[in-house]
Amino acid sequence: MSTSNQVITYRQAVSDALWEEMERDEKIFIMGEEVGVWGGTYAVTKGFIDQFGEKRVRDTPIAEMAIVGAAVGAAMNGLRPVAEIMTINFAFLALDALVNHAAKAHYMFGGQFKVPLVVRTTTGGGRQLGATHSHAPEPIFAHFPGLYVICPSTPYDAKGLLKAAIRDDNPVLFVEHSTLYQTRGAVPDSDYTVPIGVSDVKREGSDVTLVSYSKMVQISLEAADLLAKEGVSAEVVDLRCLRPLDMKPVIESLKKTNRVVVVEENWPRFGVGAEVAMQIMEQAFDWLDAPVKRVSQEDVPLPYSRDLEQSALPNPAKVVAAVKAIL
């Protein structure tokens, strides 16, 4: 049976996933700051309260610990909450509920409890929001066993992975990059899911492997276009999930290209690049013809000034320079 596609924005893909899942299962409800009457900070839940009512679309106080704490309790009692934290910068306030309760309840009670919880949030810089509102700290949350961390880069992946996350019985931190909401891509009209913990090759190549996730996949693909004009063939691997982390496509790509650059928006210390590089060392050291390179945000709080902010963030030119350094 053939499936037709529609070209929609990342924002619409997330919204459609939520709407379709709420229609499918009445145990699913949404909660968060301004998700109801206002329709969400980025208009993802606009119109939901009119369709599903105040019982299933619940505006909350400005209290992230209370939001996630209440959502954990609801999940443990048989509901399937989708809690929204307006931005990942505020998720630090809910850290205890996420990593000490959501991530550990199933384990600590010998499997008697499940926590089918999704916490949606936005990440990333590039919007001149200042140092305290421009973090990309997904690796911090990925450090903790028991919590899935999903970071889609395309509308197709965003919709399919969000549906999979909502249907999964594990707690999930679902991270959407705020500058991706307007990007567009083909999404099937039919119901589908994308498997959690499976990386994806977004572009095939033979000379170097670019490993990234979320917004940095877009940066890597732009860099691959620039490299192609100079005769360099770059393969782009999208991790899609930081936990579970699927290294198989990365290792397979490395065995073909023998060179790797990891592109991340995080700071360089103790981040995704460090983890990917170490796993490559452990699993495929003999295939490396050059050290693994990292392209990351500069190791400073992100500046407010637009020019300084952009200079601190990864861009295609920095990726091209890193590739040339290992060729």
- For 195-232, the DSSP string reads -TT--EEEE--SSEEEEE-THHHHHHHHHHHHHHHTT-
For residue 311, the model assigns a pLDDT of: 96
Over 90: is that where the pLDDT of 2 sits?
no
Tell me what the mean pLDDT of segment 44-51 comes to: 95
The band of 52, judged by pLDDT with boundaries at 50, 70 and 90, is very high
The band of 4, judged by pLDDT with boundaries at 50, 70 and 90, is confident
The alpha carbon dihedral of 120, 218, 314, 142 has a sign of positive
Residues 6+ apart with CB under 8 A from 159: 13, 14, 16, 17, 187, 192
Over 80: is that where the pLDDT of 3 sits?
no
For residue 1, the model assigns a pLDDT of: 45
Burial of 190 (C-beta count, 10 Å sphere; 0-12/13-18/19+): exposed
For residue 207, the model assigns a pLDDT of: 98
Alpha helices, H only, 95-214: 95-96, 105-108, 138-142, 155-167
Provide the annotated active-site residues: 64, 133
**How far, in Å, are 137, 208, 218, 286, 327 from residue 293 at the CA level?**
20, 11, 18, 16, 11
CA distance linking residue 80 with residue 71, whole number of Å: 8
Over 90: is that where the pLDDT of 273 sits?
yes
CA distance linking residue 43 with residue 77, whole number of Å: 29
Q: For tokens 């119901």, what's the residue?
A: 191
For residue 198, the model assigns a pLDDT of: 98
Report how far apart the first and last C-alpha atoms of the chain are (Å, whole number).
45
Tell me what the mean pLDDT of segment 134-150 comes to: 96
Domain 5-188, CATH homologous superfamily name and number: Thiamin diphosphate (ThDP)-binding fold, Pyr/PP domains (3.40.50.970)
For residue 39, the model assigns a pLDDT of: 87
**Is the CB of residue 83 less than 8 Å from the CB of residue 97?**
no
At 234, the amino acid letter reads A
Query: Where along the chain do the CATH 3.40.50.970 domains lie?
Result: 5-188
Percent of the chain with pLDDT over 90: 97
CATH topology of domain 200-326: Rossmann fold (3.40.50)
- Span 148-157, pLDDT tens digits: 999 999 999 9
- Span 292-322, pLDDT tens digits: 999 999 999 999 999 999 999 999 999 999 9
10-24 helix and 155-167 helix, angle to the nearest 10 degrees? 30
- Span 161-192, pLDDT tens digits: 999 999 999 999 999 999 999 999 999 999 99
Q: For tokens 């959502």, what's the residue?
A: 71
Q: For tokens 């033979």, what's the residue?
A: 206
Query: Where along the chain do the CATH 3.40.50.920 domains lie?
Result: 200-326
CA distance linking residue 97 with residue 100, whole number of Å: 6
Residues 6+ apart with CB under 8 A from 277: 260, 262, 292, 294
Supply the mean pLDDT for the chain.
Answer: 96
Phi and psi at 35, nearest 5°, equal -80, -20
**Is the CB of residue 8 less than 8 Å from the CB of residue 185?**
yes
**Is the CB of residue 113 less than 8 Å from the CB of residue 105?**
yes
Q: Quick one: tokens of 17?
A: 């996933």
